[in-house]
């Protein structure tokens, strides 16, 4: 892992996640953008945590996220950098508190290129984060429902995945 020299010297980590195997460029694209962002902000990247092909709402199976949470609690870093807050997780409103609390109690902040600095300490910051999370969690539910509906329609028409005829 490359360490960036800077004046702030805030110890930061990258959290990189892609939801499906079809997003081959996603991790490298996130990494490149985050390195540029960190350099502009003057952060020192000390590590990165990666979860490939795991949904943002399946946090218990995200080994990279769980390791990052444990390292946050141990005081290894003070900042998590993500491309978008939905990379950190697609939690619903109630579940989000469970996953964010260990970071917050350890004094770890989060910044996302898409949303900027996310303030889990301030009431307005919490509200903005929560509203964004609710939208992202709902998007995941809607997507799942739409995919399921399309698969059911294909099955009823005698087609398999991708519209191919079932032998």
Residue 135 lies in a domain: yes
Residue 3 lies in a domain: no
pTM metric for this prediction? 0.74
Encoded tokens for 36? 């540029």
Residue 83 lies in a domain: yes
Phi-psi region of 122 (alpha: psi -120 to 50; beta: other; left: phi over 0): beta
Residue 26 lies in a domain: yes
DSSP 25: T
Residue 64 lies in a domain: yes
Lowest mean pLDDT across 27-41, 52-66, 80-94, 144-158: 144-158
Residue 66 lies in a domain: yes
Q: Tell me the per-residue pLDDT of 133-154, one tens digit each, with 9 for 90 and over.
A: 666 555 555 544 554 555 666 6
Burial of 133 (0-12, 13-18, 19+ CB in 10 A): buried
- If one counts the domains in the chain, the total is 1
pLDDT at position 132, please?
67
pLDDT at position 163, please?
59
Phi-psi region of 166 (alpha: psi -120 to 50; beta: other; left: phi over 0): beta
Residue 166 lies in a domain: no
Residue 16 lies in a domain: yes
Residue 19, domain CATH = 3.40.50.1390
User: For residue 87, what are the domain limits?
Assistant: 10-160
B/e letters for 44-82, b = 16+ CB within 10 Å, e = fewer, are bbbbbbbbbebbbbebeebebbeebbebbeeeebbbbbb
For residue 154, the tally of other CB atoms under 10 A from its CB is 16
pLDDT at position 146, please?
53
Maximum alpha-carbon separation in the chain: 64
Q: Tell me the per-residue pLDDT of 51-83, one tens digit each, with 9 for 90 and over.
A: 998 887 788 999 999 999 999 999 999 999 999
d(CA 72, CA 108): 7
Burial of 13 (0-12, 13-18, 19+ CB in 10 A): buried
Q: Summarize the confidence of residues 106-113 as an average pLDDT.
A: 95
């Amino acid at each position: 892992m490359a360490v960036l020299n800077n004046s702030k010297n805030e110890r930061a980590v990258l959290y990189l996640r892609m939801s499906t195997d079809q997003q081959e460029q996603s991790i490298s694209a996130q990494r490149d953008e985050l390195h540029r962002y960190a350099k502009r902000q003057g952060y020192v990247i000390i590590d990165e945590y990666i979860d490939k092909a795991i949904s943002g709402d399946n946090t218990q199976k995200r080994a990279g996220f769980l390791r990052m949470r444990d390292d946050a609690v141990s005081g290894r870093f003070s900042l998590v950098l993500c491309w978008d807050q939905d990379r950190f997780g697609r939690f619903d409103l109630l579940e989000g508190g469970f996953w964010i609390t260990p970071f917050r109690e350890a004094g770890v902040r989060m910044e996302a290129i898409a949303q900027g600095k996310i303030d889990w300490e301030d009431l307005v910051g919490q509200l903005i984060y929560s509203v964004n999370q609710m939208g992202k969690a709902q998007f995941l539910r809607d997507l799942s429902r739409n995919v399921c509906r399309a698969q059911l329609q294909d099955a009823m028409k005698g087609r398999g995945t991708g519209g191919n005829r079932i032998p």
